[in-house]
Amino acid sequence: MSIRRLLFLSLSLGLFATPFAAPAQAPKPPVSLRPFKPTALAITRAAATAQAGPRSKPLTEAWALYKAFQGSWKKGASRPSPADVAALDCLKADLEKDGVPRWFFELRAKAGKSLAVTPVLDVLDPRFAEIRETERLKALGIVHLAEHELDRAGAAHEGAEIISSLMLRTPLDFELHALYARFLLDAKRSKQALEEARYAIYLDPNPGRDALEFTAFVGLIAAKDGWVLIQAMLREAARDQGEAEAVIKEYAPRFEAK
């Protein structure tokens, strides 16, 4: 790939070249793709972990239902049981009964327009406690996306609106970025999906094989001719370089195929 083409891809993905000292066991990436530079990745991930919140029971239940319903819209896939659908509806009603806080309406007006948000990286900052207020709405957004798996009208829009709004308040939440990336893929907005997947993989304190594969998959759809950058992203973000190399080996033929 030519230097000109590499620079073009960097700019098109919203990436900026700054030096990054890669682990000795991994090839040095041509460009550091981590968000919130020049802050070190370890510091960003530590802040993301500190902001994670208490993982409330409704949020845990919402995740379980979403994962149970995921892919149920596909032809030949098993449909959720009536009991699971009833549990989803009951959880949704509980989450909606307290209404929406004022700050959410302010964020909603900005949602989806920009990721240029300055995150709180100081773990002693009192604003860390404020993000705990987002868990109920986060759970509601996940519930709406679970409804989307059931092909319920309007569910995708409602879920995406909540998720994209919350990302402006808690930009370090890798789960929100990963969820929004999946929604954007469904909406055939692949370039934006790759940007969200990039945030997700770097903010995840311990990205596993599934997260690495999802990032490679989004890259294959959004930037098939950007394989050099996708490899750099996987190697830089991975905790386990063996897993990164395994995913690169798996996806290389797909990126290189004509």
pLDDT along the chain (258 residues), means of 10: 40 39 50 87 90 84 92 81 94 91 80 64 74 82 92 90 88 92 90 95 95 97 94 95 96 92
What stretches of 119-237 show up as alpha helix (H) in DSSP?
Answer: 135-149, 155-169, 174-186, 190-203, 209-222, 227-237
- CA torsion through residues 17, 20, 23, 28, sign: positive
Contact 16, 37 (CB under 8 A): yes
Cβ partners under 8 Å of residue 106, min gap 6 = none
Give CA separation, 150 vs 138, 168, 178, 258, in Å.
19, 27, 20, 36
Listed residue (130, 114, 118) closest to 51, CA to CA: 130
Cα–Cα distance, 166 to 38 (Å, whole number): 24
Contact 50, 121 (CB under 8 A): no
Listed residue (253, 245, 258) closest to 22, CA to CA: 245
Cα–Cα distance, 77 to 70 (Å, whole number): 10
Q: Could you report how far apart the first and last alpha carbons of the chain are, in Å?
A: 15
Cα–Cα distance, 179 to 254 (Å, whole number): 24
Tell me, what DSSP letter sits at residue 114?
-
Contact 229, 15 (CB under 8 A): yes
Cα–Cα distance, 162 to 196 (Å, whole number): 15
Give CA separation, 127 vs 39, 164, 169, 170, in Å.
19, 20, 10, 10
* pLDDT at residue 3, as a whole number: 36
Tell me, what DSSP letter sits at residue 71?
T
- CA torsion through residues 227, 249, 251, 38, sign: negative
Task: Provide the residue count of the chain.
Answer: 258
Contact 95, 139 (CB under 8 A): yes
Cα–Cα distance, 180 to 167 (Å, whole number): 9
SS3 151: coil
* pLDDT at residue 29, as a whole number: 56
* pLDDT at residue 19, as a whole number: 36
